[in-house]
Amino acid sequence: MNNAKALDVVIVEDEPHLADLHREFIEQHFHLRVVGIAATLQQARDLIRVHQPRLVLLDNYLPDGQGVTLIDDPLLKRFECSVIFITAASDMQTCSHAMRSGAFDYLLKPVFFHRLRASLERFMLLVQTMRQMTNVDQHALDKLFNLPTSDVPAAPSTKGIETITLERVKHFFSAAPAASWSVEQVVESVGISKTTGRRYLEYCVEIGFIGVEMQYGNIGHPRRLYRKITQAE
């Protein structure tokens, strides 16, 4: 795969900080290239027409409709574009719709990066298998359509994680283990940039040091809050 051209990806996510996190994660860890970020269904369709991506990371709740409807769009079929559906919707109807429409995978928010990594690894393995297959038999088809998540390494990556900074972040949460903090509060207290802070926070989530809570208000998007996981949890 490394000698092949990077596969193009479009991210459909109307929360800019989540879109940036996904873009950074994808391009750091995979032979993938994010060619566009859309905040609406219309922007997504425009980007897909222009770039004809191989993969779309698709959020469901968008300002102009539900992302799940995009999976049925003939546009995706025309360009043989796979979809990893990422949403806060946990109802069976939405899940069933996404799977019947051909979604490659279904991830619930808040997304844990080890789970996103596993999904992307499976996608890359699928593409590689399809490229290498010239003739098919039952064994090859079984392998192609039943790629198990367990075959994918899910250990958290330490790329971009520096020990001293990590200890500062951990110390911040350990000093007030019962409190929940926004990314803005963490980066201001620790003294790091917001981009760096998000990377360290997601790593701490992956290793089980902190957890994510979604705070829903009356207006706007839910806020991601982080809190230290205690032994009782």
> In the chain, what percentage of residues exceed pLDDT 70?
82
Residue 141 confidence (pLDDT): 60
Residue 34 confidence (pLDDT): 96
3-state SS string for 102-168? CCCEEEECCCCHHHHHHHHHHHHHHHHHHHHCCCCCHHHHHHHHCCCHHHCCCCCCCCCCCHHHHHH
The parts of the chain modelled with pLDDT lower than 70 are: 1-4, 133-159, 217-222, 231-233
* Beta partners for residue 61, in sequence order: 66
Residue 207 confidence (pLDDT): 83
Residue 150 confidence (pLDDT): 46
Residue 151 confidence (pLDDT): 46
Secondary structure of residue 83 in the 3-state scheme: strand
The backbone torsions φ and ψ at residue 110, rounded to the nearest 5 degrees and listed phi first, read -70, 135
Q: What is the DSSP string of 221-233?
A: PPEEEEEEPPTT-
> In the chain, what percentage of residues exceed pLDDT 90?
37
Measured distance CA(22)–CA(156) in Å, rounded: 15
Measured distance CA(71)–CA(77) in Å, rounded: 9
Residue 156 confidence (pLDDT): 59
**Contact, 200 vs 165, CB < 8 A?**
yes
